[in-house]
């Protein structure tokens, strides 16, 4: 936007905000005289498009964990994309598949990536039985391209292909989703991220790793194969890029790299406080635009409301496996039921004795929380993952849903999943030895470290479903309860 | 009939011998062997008349009680030990007695008198007469009484068949009640478990008092149902004991039998025809009709020759003996036995109408039993093949949902209870099936099940109110 640049220089020359970088991006709203009102809140006056930005040269492509970028081809200087809305068989996590609606065979749709000033043309083919449309969330587009079915366009009928075309007059993190029967179509998975890079990025814009994560929530009754779009409050599958842990790919970075994570939330009802362990970050942008450097506030948890995006930026300078997850406790669980009696504190022995003669497969559960249930590997309704979680390096990680890992490593040969983090000796929370307790005058029962707590082998090892602290290299019986040891899942080496 | 062979006067020995040959002896087990043959061929079971065959029942009962009872061993026990059956045999005894009476040779009448004269002398009159007309009609009386004996034979056989059906029905009912008690026990256990969970939750402070009490009351109501089932079982047991004639130590029998799955489908279309063709009920009526017809003949003959006596008389007067034949004849001037004939004819008509009525009842019962058996079989098989597996699948799916925290342990126990209820319905369906099957067999064997809804007259077929032996 040539006019804006002039305005900026004018302001700078006028001795305005010293914090303004002369190479500030064109998309920074110009500040007019009284510093309260911007020049435009919708991208300003229409301007001719700029030459199409090229990956690597004009921008560093973003990484969509578990996802992909929507490919484009150049036709007379216009980036041409093709979105196909269709039914897609999608795996949300190992063991949980569902018949969803997505774009181009993917749930969620592939990330659309372009550069400010690009002219983009997106064809949308509707292969669903229902009519649809696509709205470009946060984008300044001509009203007729806004994608609101019935208002700005007629709906895209079954089998039809519509053309959306506009010039990008901003940069930031945006989203795209249907604006026809959103309740149904978004609940079934139709949505995607849309990233626009600045034409002339300021220095602080450049990062080493740029991730895109779209948050959503679903209701999939355990044992069924289809999301229920009528659910309003009781969602039981929470996803990042349509995957629930342990289905989420890790965000792999090298120690010291600059990281940006773009979070979008198209959940039906919930906001999500996304929390990062081990680092704080600055909230650097919303879908309304980039936040001035001095106004960026520090967080360890950023609340991403429904219908917004947040970009967070930080330097990943602490090696380790750092969880990145929604801090609503139920959003980090998979598919569990919430309507059952509260079994905490209930002694199971008499109950088991009475019930098991009638129902041999029965076992009282929940009296100590979720741990045993998740680890026991009991038979579940088909196509369901009620407990969620996966075997980790030091036991069972009882997490699910909107949960992933930021894996920061000193030495990386590639950005493939590097496996589990092994920290330096001595920086591990472990059983306090009797000597330590004595030395520090701690009045607590001392439990001696035994061979039972050997660190796990990377390959096959056997553990007791009821007592995960028991780990043996070979099959056998648990010394505490006598149950047959089960083989532990080998740690993930990436999917 | 040992009394029949008392020594006779030599004079008439030959004549009497011929008459005896003519009338035929009423042999010792007349009718009894036929009863045994009919019962064996229609039910496959042995029956004994203790009065004739000796009382082997004690040993037989001991042997049968040494093993757990089965349906058929219970039937055998009843046939050995049921006193009502033995009482029923006396219908045969009475018919035989009637035959004996009918075949009696009339006793001669001897008459003598002395007359004392005023002038010295006495007159002596002697005579001996024999009722010749009675002798003459002996064959007719014989054939009528034999027809009655045959009817009585069949009637006794049907009593045995009734007992067999009653025992089978009672045994099936007992087995069903026994299994129902097991089911009620399982349901009670499930609800005890539910109540235990509720108590544990309540103690841990996790549920309200209302929640707690609601679970307790379910267990308590199940306890009441269990007690009722126990009482029902005791009643079934005593009904069986009454039929088997057992009490005291003998009533402590056990059984390991269970109601089996339905048998192969049987052709039902021909039941109506077969039931009519093989019907003992109709045979009894026919025989009684024949007896009545013969009584009509007898009455007509006797009407025209009411009495003819012949004999010898001798008189001794002052001039010595005189003798000569003597005859006495009742002249059928005013009455030729119309009353007796009319009565016998009325009895004939009655039997003929009864034959028609009974046949209609048998046909209706056959069609109804065929339908009932077919429906009971379908119902039992449907529960077995569709409902029970469905409940099993529901229970398994509920267990999976419980494992996945989708449902509570209460719902899991309720699913178990529902499964048990279906199993109980299955047992009741089996009981209904086997009872219908036993009635089907009964009809096929030629007896209308007693107490059935088609038994409008109580099956006490009009017994002849006049016996052949009645004198005139």
Nearest to A197 by CA among A261, A118, A121, A137: A118
> What's the pLDDT score for residue A448?
60
Q: Are A153 and A142 in contact, with CB atoms under 8 Å apart?
A: no
Segment B51-81, tens digit of pLDDT: 888 777 888 889 999 999 999 999 999 999 9
Lowest mean pLDDT among A376-390, A452-466, B118-132, B444-458: A452-466
Candidates A446, A441, A420, A421; CA nearest to A431 is: A446
Mean pLDDT over A46-50 rounds to: 88
Residue with the larger pLDDT of the pair B27 and A196: A196
Q: Taking CB atoms and an 8 Å cutoff, what residues of chain B touch A220?
A: none
What one-character-per-residue DSSP string does B369-421 give? HHHHHHHHHHHHHHIIIIIHHHHHHHHHHHHHHHHTTSS-HHHHHHHHHHHHH
pLDDT level of residue B457 (50, 70, 90 thresholds): low
Using pLDDT thresholds of 50, 70 and 90, give the confidence band for residue B119: confident
pLDDT tens by residue, A297-350? 999 999 999 999 999 999 999 999 999 999 999 999 988 777 888 888 888 888
E-strand ranges in A104-157 read 112-115, 119-126, 135-137
Residue B398 has phi, psi (to 5 degrees) of -65, -40
Joined tokens for residue B163? 């007992």
pLDDT at B14: 54
ipTM computed for the complex:
0.73
Nearest-neighbour CA in chain B from A265: distance (Å): 28
Could B189 and A354 be called an inter-chain contact, meaning their C-beta atoms sit closer than 8 Å?
A: yes
Query: Are B405 and A336 within 8 A, CB to CB?
Result: yes
> For B37-58, what is the mean pLDDT?
88
pLDDT tier for residue B469 given thresholds of 50, 70 and 90: very low
pLDDT of residue B453: 65
* Residue B298 dihedral angles phi and psi, to the nearest 5°: -60, -45
CB pairs under 8 A between A and B: 103
Name which of A37-46, A112-121, B368-377 the model is least confident about. A37-46
Average pLDDT over residues B463-470: 46
Q: CA A30, CA A289: separation in Å to the nearest integer?
A: 12
C-alpha pair distances (Å), B108 with each of A32, A55, B132? 158, 145, 10
- Concatenated DSSP letters of A293-344: GGG--EESEEEE-TTEEEEEEEEE-S-EEEEEEESSGGGGS-S--SSS---T
Chain B CB contacts of A355 below 8 Å: 193, 197, 409, 413
CB B460 within 8 A of CB B390: no
Cβ <8 Å between B401 and A381: yes
- Where residue A4 falls among pLDDT bands split at 50, 70, 90? low
- Burial readout B235-251 (b: 16 or more C-beta within 10 A, e: otherwise): ebbebbbbbbbbeeeee
The residue in chain A having the minimum alpha-carbon distance to the alpha carbon of residue B411 is: A340
User: Looking at the predicted structure, is the pLDDT value of residue A9 above 60?
Assistant: no
Mean pLDDT of chain B: 88
Q: Residue B409 and residue A347: Cβ atoms within 8 Å?
A: no
Contacts of B405 in chain A (CB under 8 A): 336-337, 340, 365-366, 373, 386-387
pLDDT (tens digit, 9 = 90+) per residue, A234-259? 999 999 999 999 999 999 999 999 99
Cα Rg, chain B, nearest whole Å = 35
Nearest residue in chain A measured CA to CA from B417: A358
Residue A212 clears pLDDT 80, i.e. is over it: yes
More confident residue, B451 or B295: B295
pLDDT at B452 over 80: no
Give A17-42 pLDDT, tens digit per residue.
444 444 444 555 555 556 788 889 99
Evaluate if residue B407 carries a pLDDT over 50: yes
Does pLDDT of B85 surpass 90? yes
More confident residue, B471 or B326: B326
Longest distance between any two alpha carbons in chain A, whole Å:
87
Q: Identify all chain A residues contacting B206, using CB atoms and an 8 Å cutoff.
A: 341-346
């Amino acid at each position: 936007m040539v006019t804006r640049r002039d305005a900026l220089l004018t302001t700078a020359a006028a001795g305005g905000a010293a914090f303004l970088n002369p190479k500030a991006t064109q998309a920074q709203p110009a500040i007019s005289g009284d510093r309260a009102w911007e020049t435009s809140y919708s991208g300003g006056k229409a301007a001719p498009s700029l030459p199409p930005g090229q990956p690597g040269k004009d921008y560093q492509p973003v990484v969509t964990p578990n996802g992909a970028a929507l490919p484009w081809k150049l036709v007379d200087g216009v980036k041409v994309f093709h979105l196909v809305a269709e039914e897609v068989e999608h795996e949300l996590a190992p063991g949980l598949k569902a018949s969803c609606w997505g774009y181009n065979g993917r749930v969620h749709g592939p990330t659309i990536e372009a550069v400010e000033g690009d002219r983009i043309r997106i064809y949308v083919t509707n292969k669903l039985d229902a009519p649809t449309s696509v709205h470009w969330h946060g984008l300044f587009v001509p009203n007729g391209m806004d994608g609101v079915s019935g208002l700005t366009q007629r709906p895209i009928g079954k089998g039809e292909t519509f053309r959306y075309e506009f010039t990008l007059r901003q940069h930031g993190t945006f989203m795209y989703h249907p604006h026809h029967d959103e309740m149904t179509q978004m609940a079934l998975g139709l949505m995607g991220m849309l990233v626009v890079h600045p034409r002339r990025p300021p220095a602080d814009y450049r990062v080493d790793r740029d991730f895109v994560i779209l948050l959503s929530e679903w209701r999939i009754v355990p044992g069924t194969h289809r999301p229920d779009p009528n659910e309003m409050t009781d969602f039981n599958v929470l996803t990042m890029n349509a995957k629930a842990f342990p289905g989420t790919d890790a965000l792999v970075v090298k120690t010291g790299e600059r990281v940006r994570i773009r979070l979008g939330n198209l959940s039906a009802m919930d906001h999500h406080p996304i929390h990062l362990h081990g680092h704080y970050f600055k909230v650097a942008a919303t879908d309304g635009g980039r936040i001035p450097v001095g106004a960026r506030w520090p967080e360890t948890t950023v609340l991403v409301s429904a219908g917004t995006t947040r970009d967070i930026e930080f330097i990943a300078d602490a090696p380790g496996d750092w969880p990145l997850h929604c801090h609503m406790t139920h959003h980090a669980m998979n598919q569990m039921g919430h309507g059952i009696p509260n079994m905490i504190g209930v002694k199971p022995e008499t109950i088991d004795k009475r019930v098991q003669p009638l129902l041999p497969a029965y076992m009282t559960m929940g009296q100590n929380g979720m741990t045993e249930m998740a680890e026991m590997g009991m038979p579940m309704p088909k196509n369901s993952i009620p407990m969620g979680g996966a075997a980790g390096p030091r036991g069972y990680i009882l997490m699910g849903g909107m949960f992933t890992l930021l894996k920061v490593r000193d030495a990386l040969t590639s950005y493939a999943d590097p496996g589990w983090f092994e920290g330096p000796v001595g920086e591990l929370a472990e059983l306090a030895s009797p000597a330590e307790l004595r030395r520090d005058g701690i009045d607590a029962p001392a439990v001696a470290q035994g061979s039972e707590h050997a660190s796990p082998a990377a390959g096959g090892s056997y553990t007791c479903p009821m007592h995960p602290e028991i780990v043996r290299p070979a099959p056998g019986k648990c010394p505490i309860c006598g149950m047959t040891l089960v083989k532990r899942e080998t740690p993930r080496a990436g999917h | 009939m040992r009394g029949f062979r008392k020594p006779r006067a030599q004079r008439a020995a030959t004549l009497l011998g011929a008459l005896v040959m003519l009338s035929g002896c009423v042999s010792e087990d007349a009718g009894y062997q036929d009863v045994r043959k009919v019962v064996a061929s229609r039910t496959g079971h042995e029956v004994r008349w203790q009065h004739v065959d000796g009382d082997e029942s004690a040993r037989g009962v001991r042997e049968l009680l040494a093993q757990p009872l089965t349906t058929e061993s219970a039937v055998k026990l009843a046939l050995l030990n049921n006193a009502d059956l033995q009482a029923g045999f006396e219908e045969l005894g009475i018919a035989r007695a009637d035959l004996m009476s009918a075949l009696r040779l009339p006793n001669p009448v001897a008459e003598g008198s002395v007359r004392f004269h005023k002038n010295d002398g006495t007159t002596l009159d002697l005579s001996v007469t024999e009722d010749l007309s009675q002798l003459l009609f002996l064959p007719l009386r014989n054939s009528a009484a034999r027809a009655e004996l045959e009817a009585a034979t069949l009637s006794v056989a049907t009593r045995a068949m009734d007992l067999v059906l009653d025992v089978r029905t009672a045994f099936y009912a007992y087995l069903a009640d026994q299994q129902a008690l097991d089911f009620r026990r399982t349901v009670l256990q499930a609800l005890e478990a539910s109540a235990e969970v509720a108590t544990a939750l309540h103690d841990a402070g996790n549920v309200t008092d209302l929640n707690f009490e609601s679970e307790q009351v379910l267990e308590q109501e199940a306890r009441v149902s269990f007690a009722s089932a126990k009482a029902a079982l005791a009643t079934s047991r005593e009904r069986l004991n009454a039929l088997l004639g057992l009490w005291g130590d003998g009533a402590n029998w056990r059984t390991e039998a269970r109601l089996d799955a339905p048998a192969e489908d049987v052709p039902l279309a021909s039941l109506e025809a077969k039931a009519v063709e093989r019907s003992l009920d109709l045979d009894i009526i026919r025989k009684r009709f024949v007896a009545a017809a013969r009584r009509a003949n007898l009455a007509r003959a006797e009407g025209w020759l009411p009495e003819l006596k012949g004999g010898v008389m001798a008189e001794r007067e002052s001039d010595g003996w005189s003798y000569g034949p003597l005859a006495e004849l009742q002249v059928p001037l005013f009455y030729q036995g119309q009353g007796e004939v009319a009565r016998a004819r009325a009895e004939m008509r009655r039997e003929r109408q009864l034959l028609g009525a009974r046949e209609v009842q048998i046909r209706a019962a056959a069609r109804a039993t065929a339908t009932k058996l077919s429906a009971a079989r379908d119902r039992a098989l449907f529960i077995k093949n569709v409902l029970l597996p469905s409940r099993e699948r529901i229970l398994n799916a509920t267990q999976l949902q419980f494992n996945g925290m989708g449902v509570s342990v209460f719902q899991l126990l309720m699913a178990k209870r529902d499964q048990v209820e279906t199993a109980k319905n299955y047992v009741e369906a089996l009981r209904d099936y086997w009872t219908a099957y036993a009635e089907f067999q009964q009809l096929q064997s030629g007896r209308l099940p007693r107490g059935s809804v088609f038994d409008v007259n109580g099956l006490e077929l009009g017994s002849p109110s006049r016996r052949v032996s009645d004198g005139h």
